[in-house]
């Protein structure tokens, strides 16, 4: 199996850095070919702008969606974007690792998604079976791949639970797992979250490493989160969940079968 490890932490000597190294070693022990996108070490440009389209008229207004689609089709995107797209195309699995900062991933990781998942690669693929719809939320060019988030959080596990002051970790990660990865067709296995990351001693570190290895051992076989498919009958023409699914309920959880 081919696995791309996307690492979004500024310090290689951190807890995140040690877990990344342990995880990559484990995957290779299990026979995976592993490639790494270390975003900070790469100096990844996080801002999506006209510079992503070499040769464009610099005086023309930037229309990022249409321009990304046109440059995607002609293979003329910025070389750093094309390099990341090639890695994703190569990969069977993606491991995306980051610390939870202010309820979200670091800006550099959001910028990686913004620039790499261009129209014509990550989205905007016409659905031949449903005119007027596109292949997204479970379908698309990246369907068949799977991903897992590896996240560190400073809060205690209870504080990131269903009644915790920080909000449920499942809802905090919903924009990435559902709105980014599942949107482009990538199946997502449950995340591995390390709580209390700023209070880790040697014993806790050993436990974290053990849990990471165990999850990576099952990366290819673990059941993914059962998000609903957009184009397979659960949603109406306005992309609203049909009334007979999760009747009387609302909120993010209704989009999980």
Q: Which residues are 97's β-sheet partners?
A: 7, 150
User: Mean pLDDT for each consecutive 10-residue tract of the chain (257 residues)?
Assistant: 97 90 96 97 96 92 93 94 98 97 95 96 88 89 96 89 91 96 97 86 86 94 96 92 93 93
Integer Cα distance of 4 and 148 in angstroms: 11
Quick one: pLDDT at residue 256?
Answer: 95
Quick one: pLDDT at residue 11?
Answer: 86
pLDDT tens digit string along 111-166? 999 999 999 999 998 888 878 888 999 999 999 999 999 999 988 889 989 899 99
Q: Are strands 93-99 and 33-38 parallel, antiparallel or unpaired?
A: unpaired
* pTM, rounded to two decimals: 0.93
Q: What stretch of H or E contains 74?
A: helix 64-74
Integer Cα distance of 140 and 118 in angstroms: 13
Quick one: pLDDT at residue 255?
Answer: 95
Task: Name which of 150, 168, 170, 149 is nearest 159 in CA terms.
Answer: 168
Integer Cα distance of 59 and 67 in angstroms: 14
């Amino acid at each position: 199996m081919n696995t791309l490890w996307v690492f979004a932490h500024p310090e290689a000597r951190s807890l995140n850095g040690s877990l990344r190294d342990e995880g990559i070693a484990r995957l290779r022990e299990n026979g995976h070919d592993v490639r790494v996108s270390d975003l900070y070490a790469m100096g990844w440009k996080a801002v999506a702008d006209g510079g992503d389209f070499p040769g464009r008229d610099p005086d023309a207004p930037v229309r990022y969606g249409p321009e990304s689609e046109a440059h995607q089709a002609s293979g003329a995107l910025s070389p750093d974007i094309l390099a990341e797209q090639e890695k994703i195309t190569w990969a069977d699995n993606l491991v995306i690792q980051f610390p939870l900062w202010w309820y979200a991933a670091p800006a550099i990781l959001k910028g990686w998604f913004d620039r790499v998942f261009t129209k014509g690669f990550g989205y905007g693929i016409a659905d031949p079976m449903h005119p007027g719809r596109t292949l997204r939320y479970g379908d698309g060019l990246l369907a068949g791949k799977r991903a897992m988030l590896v996240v560190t959080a400073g809060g205690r596990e209870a504080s990131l639970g269903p009644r915790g002051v920080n909000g449920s970790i499942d809802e905090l990660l919903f924009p990435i797992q559902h709105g980014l990865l599942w949107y482009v067709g990538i199946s997502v296995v449950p995340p591995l979250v390390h709580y209390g990351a700023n209070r880790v001693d040697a014993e806790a570190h050993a436990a974290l490493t053990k849990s990471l290895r165990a999850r990576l051992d099952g990366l290819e076989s673990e059941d993914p989160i059962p998000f609903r498919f957009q184009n397979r009958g659960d949603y109406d023409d306005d992309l609203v969940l049909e009334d007979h699914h999760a009747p009387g309920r609302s909120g993010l959880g209704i989009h999980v079968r």
